[in-house]
Every structure is written in structure tokens, then in C-alpha cells.
């Protein structure tokens, strides 16, 4: 006796996870842009993956203000305004890590952990069937492995010049962030 299994894109639950620091770096370095319509981005990439979006989670850090530096104050105010607008988009959540200065470089802290915890808990609780991840860091590999163990399909949006091979090897489907995608998602 055989079973017919039909997957319907409309009944499955899917979530977009965006590493904001990674995506901002990609936008500025490879596309000379910092402005993008994140609602359009979420809808476009879900459509390209043939799934409907349940929610988008955006992970980032607020800038640090060093010694009352005027540029830092403006940068932080702009980021707070951006994040407030993002939170008001339909089915968007913003989660913040901490920014630290290590040597002379800024480093995000807790962002990867927050994302990994959300990925694994949602998959373990069988709340989602598809993850669309915008990231490039191999730190997500253990969470992806656990999500796949729960039966979740993992889609990765990445830029080829800024992604770890371990991450490429672990996900189910690869989608390149290219000029056409970025142009499709302009404000």
C-alpha cells in the first residue's frame, strides 16, 4: 500500500531570519546601498522559495556611543528610528544583541546565539517547516543541523564573496543575493 504525500506551500509555516549586520555589510560593500524595503525583501524571497511568510525576525545591535561622540549619537539615533520602523512592519520582530569594541573593531555579540536559539526552538516545537536565512556565518551550522533533524527545510540567501563554506554545505537550498534581487526590493 503506497501513500501519496502532497506538500502544499500555503499550509506550511515559514520564517525569515535576517542577520542585520551581515546583510547591511553585503548591501554596502557589494551593492553600494544601505536602503532597502525589508517588507518587500521578505515577500520577494519567500515567493522565490515558493512559500508564504509567517514572520520575519531581524537581528542586529545598536551602535555604541564613544565618549559622547556626535557621529556615534547620530548613528545610534538613526538605527533606533530604523528599528522602530522595522518593528511596525506586518509580522516583523526585531531582536537585539550587544555591540562591543574589541581592539579597534566593532563586534556583534549575542546575535548568533539569539538567532540560533530561535531557530532551534521554533523547529523543535514544530512551529515552522521552512527557514529562510540571510546570513554567512558558520556559527549557525549547529542550529541548522538541529532544525533539519526536526524536518525543517533550510533556504540560505547569501553573497558568494561573504559566506562560510560550512554553512553552504549544511543548508538544503542556496539562493544568491544578487543585483536583481536587491533592485527588486528597493524602497
Rounded to the nearest 10 degrees, the angle between the axes of helix 111-124 and helix 141-149 is 0
How confident is the model at residue 3, as a pLDDT? 36
Cα distance between residue 124 and residue 112, in whole Å: 18
Q: Give me the mean pLDDT over the 12-37 stretch.
A: 89
Residue 61 maps to a domain:
yes
CA separation for the pair 80, 134 (Å, rounded)? 21
Task: Quick: pLDDT tens for 41-78.
Answer: 999 999 988 888 999 999 999 888 888 889 888 989 99
Q: How confident is the model at residue 13 (pLDDT cuts 50, 70, 90)?
A: confident
Give the DSSP letter string of 118-185. HHHHHHHTT--SEEEEE---GGGHHHHHHHHHTT-EEEEEE-TTS--HHHHHHSSEEEE--HHHHHHT
Sign of the Cα pseudo-torsion (159, 178, 75, 55, in order): negative
Alpha carbon distance 161, 36 (integer Å) = 20
- Is there a domain that residue 9 lies in? no
Residue range 110-136: mean pLDDT, rounded: 90
Would you say residue 5 lies in a domain?
A: no
DSSP class of residue 38 equals H
Q: What is the CATH number of the domain that holds 109?
A: 3.40.50.1010
Q: Are 136 and 167 in contact (CB under 8 A)?
A: yes
Count CA atoms within 13 Å of residue 70 on its CB side. Answer: 0
Does some domain include residue 116? yes
Q: Give Cα 151 to chain centroid, integer Å.
A: 20
Q: Does residue 137 lie in a domain region?
A: yes
Answer whether residue 150 is part of any domain.
Answer: yes
Number of CB atoms found within 10 A of residue 53's CB: 21
Q: Residue 151 domain-assigned?
A: yes
Question: What is the residue range of 32's domain?
Answer: 14-184
Q: Integer distance in angstroms from the first to the last C-alpha of the chain? A: 53
Total number of domains constituting the chain: 1
pLDDT band at 11; cut points 50, 70, 90 = low
Is the residue at 8 inside a domain? no
Most trustworthy range by pLDDT among 5-9, 54-58, 98-102: 54-58
Amino acid at each position: 500500500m503506497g501513500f501519496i504525500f502532497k506538500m502544499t506551500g500555503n499550509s506550511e509555516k515559514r520564517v525569515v531570519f535576517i542577520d542585520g549586520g551581515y546583510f547591511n555589510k553585503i548591501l554596502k560593500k557589494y551593492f553600494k546601498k544601505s536602503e532597502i524595503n525589508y517588507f518587500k525583501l521578505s515577500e520577494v524571497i519567500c515567493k522565490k522559495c515558493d512559500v508564504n511568510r509567517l514572520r520575519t525576525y531581524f537581528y542586529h545591535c545598536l551602535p555604541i556611543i564613544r565618549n559622547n561622540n556626535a557621529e556615534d549619537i547620530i548613528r545610534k539615533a538613526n538605527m533606533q528610528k530604523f528599528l522602530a520602523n522595522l518593528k511596525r512592519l506586518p509580522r516583523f520582530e526585531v531582536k537585539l544583541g550587544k555591540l562591543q569594541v574589541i581592539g579597534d573593531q566593532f563586534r556583534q555579540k549575542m546575535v548568533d546565539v539569539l538567532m540560533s536559539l530561535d531557530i532551534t526552538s521554533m523547529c523543535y516545537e514544530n512551529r515552522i517547516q521552512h527557514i529562510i536565512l540571510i546570513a554567512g556565518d558558520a556559527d549557525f551550522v549547529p542550529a541548522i543541523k538541529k532544525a533539519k533533524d526536526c524536518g525543517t527545510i533550510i533556504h540560505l540567501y547569501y553573497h558568494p564573496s561573504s559566506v562560510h563554506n560550512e554553512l553552504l554545505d549544511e543548508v538544503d537550498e542556496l539562493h544568491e543575493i544578487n543585483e536583481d534581487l536587491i533592485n527588486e526590493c528597493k524602497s
